[in-house]
Structure formats: C-alpha cells, structure tokens
Structure 1
C-alpha cells in the first residue's frame, strides 16, 4: 500500500436506528481523509443448522451498539473459510456476513455521497473485502472519485455454493427458502443493507453503483440479472454496473448436474452414500470448517459454482441475453455498464489449480468450472478435434490459462456486448468497453512482472488509485487522471466522455501510456466462441 503515514483516531458515530458505533478516522497532519467501519454485520450468522441455507436478514430492531456501550468496528470483516493462503486463518469465521464501509471525510454533496458497492473476486472459492483503509486514502482524497465504498464479505466455495437434491428437499420440507446460490443471496442482502442504511452515513440510496472484479464482476452480472428478472421496478436498487475482467459466462448447471459434486464431497468426508438425506446433511453440518475446506482439495470437481434455480438465476438467462430482452430491460431501467479486460489475463488464470501437462488434465480441470457439454465444445474448438497441443502454446497449462481467460473474460464478454448492442444499447454511452495494455509499477509488489498486463494488474493500481506497493508515481497519476475522472463521473451518474462510439471499439490504455480508441481485433473470435457455447452458429452476430 502507499507509504504515506496516516494518523488513526477513534470515530464515534450515531447511526440512528443502527445504534451507536465506533470506527476509525484516518488523517494526514490533523486533516481527516476518510472514515472507516470494519466488520459491520448485515445478516444473522449462517452457522449450525443454517450452514448451506440462504442468509437471514437482521431483525428490524437490531442495533449495533448503544450510547453506553457503542459497537466497536475498527477491525476487518470476517473471512469465509477458504482453500487459499490456509496458513493465515486468523480471520476465518463462518459467521462472515459482514461488510466494511469507507466514507470520504468532509461535507457530503446535496443528496449525499454516491454509494459504490464492491464485490471482491476469488473464483467464488476464496477472497475477502478487507482493503486496508489507508490504501484507499489516495483514491478518496487525491482524485475525482468521491463515494461511500461498501465492501461485503460473502460465503464462497462449498459454504456459499453447495447444491443438491437433499438440500433442496430439506428446504421444501421445512417450508423455508430453497437452497443453493447462497453466496449470491448473501451479496443481495448486503446490497439491500447498503440501500437501506447508506443514508445514515451521508450516502445517497438512490445512486447505487454495483461493481466487482473477476468473480466479483461475474457476481455483479448475476446480481444485475436477478434484479432485471426477479425484482420489480419499484424495488430495484442498481443504477449502474461495473464488471472488471469477467463476463456472464455460460448458463449455470442444473441441480442434477450439481448432485455429482455433492455426492463426491460426501464420499471424501466419509459420509456413506446409502445414508439418509437427513443423516448426510447432519454430518455435513457437523464437519468443522477447516475439514470442509481440506476436503475440497481432494475433489475432481473442485470449484463450487452457481446453479440455474429459477429463484436467483433464471434457467433461460442466456436466451434472454441472445434475444435482446436483457438489453431492453437494462434500457428501460436506464442501467449503464462498464466492462473490459487486461491484455494478458491468461497468465493469472493459469495459476489457480493449474492442471498437469496433458490433454486429459486440462479437460478435467475445465470440467470443475463448466458443464461437460461446454468443455467438450471448448476442447474440440481449441484442439481442432485432435488430442494434440495446438500450435502457439508453450504447454497444456498455458493452453488452460488461455481457454479459461477466453471464457471468463475475452470471448464471452464480446458475445455479451454484441447481444447488448443488438438489443438497443449504445456503444460509448450505455456500454463502456475498455482494455489495458500497460501495468503500473506498484503492481510488481503483488503480481510477478513477467506475467505482464495480466488479470488484476489494474484493480489496485488503476481503479483504486495505487492501493498497493508504494502507490502510483507522479507520472502515472498524470497518465491516469482522465481514466479516474471518467470512472468517477460514471459512479456519480454523470455523462461520461469515454471515446469509442462503435460496438467494435474499446477505450485503451496503450503500452506507451497513451489513451486511444482501439479497433478490437478479437471481436470476431469472441463472437465465434459465444455462438459455440451460448447460441446457434451465426445467429447472434451484429
């Protein structure tokens, strides 16, 4: 994070119906820079019998503290137990439905600060929202970006995305909400909490931008889709959406397709297949969190993903995109989208659960994320119907990284954009496409330089204004000033001077640091793969 020294002091705050709380104020030379609250609960604990069930909202009378005993929120949100950096478990807690607030110091504009809800990434398997408050001081003090940042934790991996007929039948029997997609339901409650309570912190509940990086961007799509198809106009919250380096992907699996993963998890944990449904679920809920995490390393299908439940996710959402209906609903609600990529996304993507050097290993690894029919199409497409490594790739792990990046970002973003334009959204106004061909120096502290302009090299450095390493140099700040101003205008809801006006153009930060309008040379390739996976050949073209 930036090397500047910030003074921290207690920040007592009367949050009205939420009660009295204490956070932190960060200051430079006695001048307040931002206010911070860490670990505010937004839902009841999803533990015990509530493991693998939808989150439960806090009761209306719930208070975070009293005048005599204020709630102290100066730390971080709890972290859902996860298969990543398992040596540091200090913040692990299944009771992780908490969020962090970062509030600009000073007087809010008329109507309040815009609300910027940020969903963290991590493949839906790991990650947390705990950005050190000092790392965001430059963004909120040096730039045009002035908004309350709401960053929730949510359940990931098996805790957030386990699904099965046993869980579904139990929910129906107990007359409670159906299970599955719990991590998305967590995010939804956090968004609703922000909408309901941001005005208590001088925020504008009518001006909410939802944003996310990687799996957080995919989550942003799912949240937007949920609002468009399951939430009425009068209850809709999202005004704008930002999807940094991710796409809608493909239609999520059905419950039947998820059952295989559930059965394998039970087997790894020693839960007999012949056990009754009640016995299986009782034993699963009795497994310590660390044991549930450890078991996931031994699964063939290691990644826990969404399923098409027709409750959170429409089973025909891809059809809605292809028909233009998704775009028409966005247009009717005046929702704008920012969505783009880094040049070398694949170098990071190949690093997560990298397969061994063979055709079979790549196929098996892809099956952990995508339905089998999708994987068959992908392997046939990239390998031209053979079992040989295609030309242009160093090895099979390198091919895996490219396929994964193409599906998560490059190709399926382009197919999605094409469908939005067909449905009536306007390039450069309703849909803001971008591409980065340059990385900032501060990123070297967290991502190997030889990975190039890879996945996440833009998050802390560009969007969050040098929130890593030693921060941005003076020259980099000059280079990125207009990018920040357009980002800030988008979050405020103002007109954005983006540049591109054609569907096949992208706003680009070039390798030499200059910004231009780039003619997208991957457009046709992207549409071809979208058609292959998400539509009839040739029928979804502009």
Structure 2
C-alpha cells in the first residue's frame, strides 16, 4: 500500500507558495547488493510495505566516479516522484525521466507552466555496476548484461502498476531523458515494442540530445575489459568463474569505482545481448520496419539537439593523437566503427592537443547526437507522418547556466535542462519565463496526448529557438552534412560477417 500522506510539499522560497508534491526515494526493486550485484533486478515482494521513512529522505546516488559531497549507495533502485498541486486530471498521465534522480528539479515547471504531469524519476545502476559484461557473468546467471536497462524497465513497470496511486494514468506514459537518458529512452522504447516485451507501456517519448546510437558491441569485444578489471583488482585469470565472481562481489563499491580509474577503457556501455537489445533491432531501423512498428502503435517523439553540443564532450578523456582517438572512441563504439570514423584524421599532420580535443569533441557529438539522431529520423520518415516526429533545435540558453558552463560555449550539451525544466531549480528572468512558457506550450499538449501545434511543414524542418531568444520554424541546416556519418556506420554494420548471438 502506498500512503500519499507521506509525501512532502515543495514551497517557493520567496513566497512560500506550494509548487508541487514530492515523494522521495520510493523503492521499486530490491537492493542490487551482495549476490544481487550484476544480476537482473528483483521486483519488490507483494508483502512489501512503504513506510513514512522511505518518503521523506533523499536516496543515495548510484555509485559512479566520486564527486565531493555526494553520497553513493548501491541501494539506489528508488524513484523520486513529483506531482502537481491539487488533483491532476487522469489524462495528464505520467512522465518518466531517466538520469540522476536527485540532481534535477521540475517543481517550477509543474507550478508555473502549462505542463501538468507526474514525474517519476528513477535511480538505476551506472557504469561498472550497470553495464559490466563478460562470459563469466553471462554463464553464471541468465540475461546477465545491461543491468541498468533492466533497472529502468522494472521502474517503468512499477510506474505502470502504481501510478494510479498518485492520480496518474497508466495508459498515458511518456518516457524521456537527456543525453544518456535519451539513449536509454530509445532502448526502452525498442524493448517495449519489441519481441521480448510482455506488456507495451510507452505511448510517446522525449529524446533530448541523443538518438539510437550505433549497434552495440557484442560480448567477445568487451571480454578484454572484464579481464583488465580482474587484473587491476589482482584477481587471477586462472581462477574458476565462480571464484572470480565471488571475489568481485566481495569488493566494496568504492574499490570497484577506484579500479575503473586504472583501467584502459573506463566506460561500460550496453552490449548486444539478444534480449534487451534484440539481434535484429538495427537492421529493422535501417529497413524501416522499426518505423512501421511505431506507426502501428501511434507512438510520437519529440527529438532534437543543440547547436554547440561538442563543448560538453571535448574534455571527457580527450585523446592527443590519431591512435588515441581510435582507442578513445572504442570505449563507446565497436572498434570497426571507431576505426572507420577516424580515418579522415589519419593523414600525418602536426596537430596540437587542443586541436585533437576539438576533433574528438565534434566527432563524439556527431556520433552521440547529430549524425545518429538524423539517421534515425531518416529511417523513420517513410512510415511516420509529420505529427509523429516533432523536431527541435536550440541555440539559446538561460543566464543561470553561466555558473556551470562558460558563456562562450553557447548552447552546449545539457544547457537546455534549464529550458525543459523551467529553470531546473535556478531563478529565471521575467523575459526568460515568458519565452520558455511559449516554447513549452506544445510540449504540454504532447504530454496530455492531444493534437500538437508544432509548426513544422516537413521532417527536415525544426522548431528552432534562436540565439536571440526567438522561436522560429527553420530548415535544419545540419541535415545534409551530418547524414554521411550515419550512412558509414550503417554500411559497416550491415557488412559484418554473421556472428554468434553474443
């Protein structure tokens, strides 16, 4: 039983006016600790009782590279839930955003704009805890891969089963996120409408600054990373599989996080496991079958990017040479793809570290966002009407972002959260409030499941927020220049020799 009285009401600091209700650290799964580490999450038992204590505290952040002042806790499979003041109509539905569930603040969005919905913001396993993969793990436990995706899926199923307790509508769920959250949103949608799902839940999606990416690595390609982890932790390769896994599970979360810092590849990404990420997913995207499935289910998407995304990426372990560029991109993508997209930079040239950093930032932004997102849209076009693909592009930012990102970076990766979340906890100027409310009007209609007046006339157009703070409908100036990279990755993926499932 969920007792709504255990929530708290968030107040506007100057006026003390109620902004929204918040229910904090609501568990949706058993803690993924001990023997549950690196296994699919276990749902809560039917006898589980929600008490007041669980609703009034902020849950710990799932372990990741440590930041001063942030508490990390593997017991993090919990959601923060934000509900509008008053009784929201059933049609407002639920909004599930992927990402850190303690860092963002949608309270002003719910209080001061037309967007009246319920946010369910789950924590889920990240990095080595969420996406470690190896032969040993796979053979030890069924479906032992993509744990972070399975966490998200269980949170989504929990939302479907319980959102009515918060006066939400389980048949009107929107899933969305920014960056990695957008990438996860795509894969949650793909699973939800794919062959392995037992219940289609998602009605529409937000994809902020990311798309479908490229086909993930398979298990053999990530085995070296697992072996490197064992070496760093001084766990002998000669030990049996059970002994290796037992030794890993005995390590503290801090020991594991610290070990990652000494590894050759420091990022753990989803793999093509044949279950959560189905074998034929990307071929279905290329062939148009994925778009046809979205058409059958009448699923809409809001999808777009910012003009200067690369500034947000160029300092994330940047390379300083051609070979280190290939190696760095191999953290995220299959090596054949990383090698191919780096070929234009192979010719001998005297490049400074700053130049390599810029090359990396722009190429990474194309792979993460600009090129793969437009390639996905192109693949969806034949099957979907314009009303199903609502595209945007942003070249503007609020003044509040300046304290986190230098003004000269412009509209760079992540600066749009202050737009989508109406300040995201920061103060907006009166002019900014007027502009953002106007920008969000069709978003409110989208979430309610109503007809959306987006304004674009064909899919190569975007709803554009200009650097001067004007809303315009414009042709996508990056369309033609970004698609060739998608075509290259598609060709490589299709030309691979048939391989075993993993």
- Calculate the TM-score normalised by the size of structure 2: 0.94
- 1:267-286 aligned at under 5 Å gives the runs 267-286=231-250
Superimposed CA distance per residue, residues 150-202 of structure 1 (whole angstroms, 9 cap, x where no aligned partner) = 0000000010000111011111xxxxx32000000000000111111110011
Equivalent position to 1:416, from 368, 376, 381: 376
Greater alpha carbon shift after TM alignment, 305-314 vs 26-35: 26-35
**Hey, what does 2:76 align to over in structure 1?**
96
Q: Does the aligned pair in 2 maintain the 1:99–1:129 contact within 8 Å? A: yes
- 1:164-175 aligned at under 5 Å gives the runs 164-171=134-141
CA RMSD of aligned residues (A): 2.0
**Hey, what does 1:81 align to over in structure 2?**
63
Give me the whole-angstrom Cα distance separating, in 1, the residues matched to 2:466 and 2:16: 39
Greater alpha carbon shift after TM alignment, 438-447 vs 26-35: 26-35
CA change 1:60–1:230 in 2 (3 A) is: farther
Equivalent position to 2:11, from 21, 27, 37: 27
Give me the whole-angstrom Cα distance separating, in 2, the residues matched to 1:247 and 1:483: 22
Report the alpha carbon displacement of residue 517 of structure 1 after superposing the two structures with TM.
1.6
Equivalent position to 2:112, from 139, 142, 160: 142
1:341 and 2:305 are equivalent in the alignment: yes
- 1:435-450 aligned at under 5 Å gives the runs 435-450=393-408
- 1:388-403 aligned at under 5 Å gives the runs 388=349, 395-403=355-363
Give me the whole-angstrom Cα distance separating, in 1, the residues matched to 2:331 and 2:313: 14
Equivalent position to 2:102, from 101, 121, 130: 130
**Hey, what does 1:196 align to over in structure 2?**
161
Q: Does the aligned pair in 2 maintain the 1:305–1:369 contact within 8 Å? A: yes
**Hey, what does 2:422 align to over in structure 1?**
465
Give me the whole-angstrom Cα distance separating, in 1, the residues matched to 2:433 and 2:369: 27
Q: Does the aligned pair in 2 maintain the 1:78–1:97 contact within 8 Å? A: no
1:186 and 2:167 are equivalent in the alignment: no
Equivalent position to 2:85, from 98, 101, 105: 105
1:263 and 2:227 are equivalent in the alignment: yes
Secondary structure in structure 2 of the residue aligned to 1:507 = strand
Give me the whole-angstrom Cα distance separating, in 1, the residues matched to 2:182 and 2:328: 22
Secondary structure in structure 2 of the residue aligned to 1:264 = helix
1:208 and 2:173 are equivalent in the alignment: yes
Q: Does the aligned pair in 2 maintain the 1:76–1:130 contact within 8 Å? A: yes
Report the alpha carbon displacement of residue 27 of structure 1 after superposing the two structures with TM.
3.4
1:524 and 2:483 are equivalent in the alignment: no
Report the alpha carbon displacement of residue 496 of structure 1 after superposing the two structures with TM.
1.1
**Hey, what does 2:385 align to over in structure 1?**
426
CA change 1:538–1:303 in 2 (3 A) is: closer
Secondary structure in structure 1 of the residue aligned to 2:258 = helix
Give me the whole-angstrom Cα distance separating, in 2, the residues matched to 1:413 and 1:74: 39
**Hey, what does 1:535 align to over in structure 2?**
491
Q: Does the aligned pair in 2 maintain the 1:214–1:244 contact within 8 Å? A: yes
Equivalent position to 1:226, from 175, 184, 191: 191
- Calculate the TM-score normalised by the size of structure 1: 0.87
Report the alpha carbon displacement of residue 107 of structure 1 after superposing the two structures with TM.
2.1
Report the alpha carbon displacement of residue 426 of structure 1 after superposing the two structures with TM.
2.0
Q: Does the aligned pair in 2 maintain the 1:152–1:190 contact within 8 Å? A: yes
Which ranges in structure 1 are unaligned for 5 or more consecutive residues?
1-16, 121-127, 172-176
Report the alpha carbon displacement of residue 104 of structure 1 after superposing the two structures with TM.
0.5
**Hey, what does 1:14 align to over in structure 2?**
none
Q: Does the aligned pair in 2 maintain the 1:230–1:312 contact within 8 Å? A: no
**Hey, what does 1:151 align to over in structure 2?**
121
Q: Does the aligned pair in 2 maintain the 1:505–1:520 contact within 8 Å? A: yes
Q: Does the aligned pair in 1 maintain the 2:163–2:169 contact within 8 Å? A: yes
**Hey, what does 2:2 align to over in structure 1?**
18
Equivalent position to 2:215, from 247, 251, 263: 251
Report the alpha carbon displacement of residue 231 of structure 1 after superposing the two structures with TM.
5.1
Report the alpha carbon displacement of residue 480 of structure 1 after superposing the two structures with TM.
2.2
Q: Does the aligned pair in 2 maintain the 1:435–1:509 contact within 8 Å? A: yes
Equivalent position to 2:465, from 498, 503, 509: 509
**Hey, what does 1:374 align to over in structure 2?**
337
Report the alpha carbon displacement of residue 439 of structure 1 after superposing the two structures with TM.
1.1
Give me the whole-angstrom Cα distance separating, in 1, the residues matched to 2:131 and 2:474: 38
Q: Does the aligned pair in 2 maintain the 1:39–1:98 contact within 8 Å? A: yes
Report the alpha carbon displacement of residue 84 of structure 1 after superposing the two structures with TM.
4.4
